[in-house]
Amino acid sequence: MITRLFIPFLLAVLVTACQEEPAPPVMDTPAVVDAAPEPDSLLRHAVFFSFKESASPEQITEVQQAFSALPDQIDGIVDYEWGTNNSPEGLNKGFTHAFFVTFEDEDARAAYLPHPAHQSFGEKLGPILDDVFVVDYWSRND
């Protein structure tokens, strides 16, 4: 009796073990997001700074003014804005200043990064910068 019950159980275990694993589900979102621009989209360069505790308000203002001067010094910047955090959520992780630079295209961004005015700005920023994070993206309206 035990053998008659055990054999079907053993066969079921063996059949299950020999079956192929199902393929993982296909994700709707690709692993790498398509970076190609859509018609009428804009290339945005979002930069967020947190400053060292030792940074004086005057030093921070000097950095802000130097960043704000870049659109007049570097071709290909079509828009610029900046501001300081005033979110009540407390999720800024120490980042206090946000800067958004809009480029006409990727070539303009490529020229901006090594541009002497941008490099000079970085030299002013470096001694008082605690952390930075940057996100570049093509704007979307869908």
Q: Per-10-residue mean pLDDT for the chain, 142 residues long?
A: 43 42 41 58 96 97 97 97 97 97 96 96 96 95 78
Residue 115 and residue 121 in contact, taking contact as beta carbons nearer than 8 Å: no
- Domain CATH for 90: 3.30.70.100
| 23 inside domain | no
| 107 inside domain | yes
Q: How far apart are CA 97 and CA 100, in angstroms?
A: 10
- Total number of domains in the chain: 1
| 74 inside domain | yes
| 30 inside domain | no
- In the three-class reduction of DSSP (H, G, I as helix; E, B as strand; rest coil), residue 119 is classed as helix
| 65 inside domain | yes
Q: How far apart are CA 129 and CA 121, in angstroms?
A: 12
- In the three-class reduction of DSSP (H, G, I as helix; E, B as strand; rest coil), residue 141 is classed as coil
Verdict on whether the full-model pTM lies above 0.85: no
| 112 inside domain | yes
| 96 inside domain | yes
| 122 inside domain | yes
- Quote the domain boundaries for residue 125: 43-138
Residue 128 and residue 62 in contact, taking contact as beta carbons nearer than 8 Å: no
Residue 36 pLDDT = 61
